[in-house]
Amino acid sequence: MSESACNQNRRTLLKGIAATSLLCPLYSTSVFAASKKRLYIDGLSFLPENLADVRESKLDAYICDISAIEPITQPDGTTNYKRTYQACIESIKQAKKVVDDNPSVLLQGLTGNDIAKARNEQRTAVYFQIQGADCVEADADNANSGDKPWPQLDQFHQHGLRVLQLTHHYGNRFAGGALDNDGFQSLNKPLTADGKALIAELNRRNILIDVSHSSPQTALDTAKVSTKPIVQSHGAVRSIVNNARCSPDEVIRAIADTGGVFGIFMMSFWLTNKPVPTIDDYIRQLDRVARLGGMDAVAIANDFPLRGQENLLALNNNNAEGVKQYLGWWQSLADKNVLGFDHTPEHVVIPEFNHIDRMNRIDDALAKARYKSSDRDRFLGGNWQRVLKQVLV
């Protein structure tokens, strides 16, 4: 989605929270009990302003983006949003305070075992993530000098960072970005030497590596270099929608081969090119990942707030109106000949899933698609739990 639409209020939102320390029935704590429900883990969302949303989402755990951004104008006139050290260290401190101030609702996820702990205590574990390694870029200069290498990465880890995305849309010192790739091999940028050093440090510190938004070659290189499972926390399948932000089949296979997972997100313009997105389009994405990487590679992601894409909710999920906020950004990429952006989007969300109760609804949709209960266990949380337990030790 466009960075301005997704991120412009995030830092303000975190400060505000910290300062104030199918229709379904309302969620209750009795329903939340671990013995009463399937394990639900979301691959990417955010801390909500109203923490009642956490309970209502029915999530046992989720990867929680706590990034803060600084807008950077690219040489071609487009805007990138970098997660700088200064912005993100402030943001992660604010997010940690929110969690610490609300122990009856939230548990800061530090190891994979915290999912079971949160479940038993009727809380939700949140695993802090930053969408871009720009926040630790200076560390590469210090990696081989002095006796305190990678101090910024250490600081983030001490404040609870457990998942790090290598880049966001555009390449950086470590990795190539998905939107650097306009379909020509020369722009499918690989993992750099600094990137390989970063992967080694993330493995050593037991931080989960996320290749969302990376170029295909960077993702493939990362899968080869990492000694631990890697993930794409939120994305879609390029063999269904031929867009640079979607991943080729070989990337999905490579992630699965590391023991990692691939999360399908809720942004419908990357799920289908059909004029009206449906539940079946989402199930088709999950099915494709299962066919490429196996049942253990499939996961659910969001990439919107827990309640859903807020502008679309205010518009009663009117996609024709809601998509307008993305068209300027989309056209700027079409003007650069970025792969797939010549197809103008007509929608943003699958209406049925742009809802606080999406996990239950996905569960029901998978049952209707004749997925057996054990596979739904994997897709809706089991696969995420396995990877988090393996990496976050």
Question: C-alpha angle 364/370/372, rounded to 5°?
Answer: 85
Terminal CA-to-CA distance of the chain, rounded, Å? 33
- The answer to whether residues 164 and 129 touch, using CB atoms and an 8 Å cutoff, is yes
In the chain, which residues have pLDDT < 70?
Answer: 1-36, 140-148, 181-187
Please report, for the chain, the start and end positions of each structural domain, with discontinuous segments joined by +.
Answer: 3-22+34-391
Provide the 3-class DSSP secondary structure of residue 345.
coil
CA distance linking residue 193 with residue 367, whole number of Å: 45
What residue type is 186 in one-letter code?
Answer: S
CB environment 10-20: b (16+ within 10 A), e (fewer): bbebbeebbee
What's the Cα-to-Cα distance from 374 to each of 37, 38, 283, 392, rounded to whole Å? 13, 10, 16, 24
- Cα 223 from Cα 371, distance rounded (Å): 29
The CATH number that domain 3-22+34-391 falls under is 3.20.20.140
Query: Cα separation of 55 and 32, whole Å?
Result: 8
Neighbours of 204 (CB within 10 A): 12
* Cα 261 from chain centre: 12
Q: At what angle do helices 216-225 and 249-257 cross, to 10 degrees?
A: 20
pLDDT digits (tens, 9 = 90+) for 264-314: 999 999 999 999 999 999 999 999 999 999 999 999 999 999 999 999 999
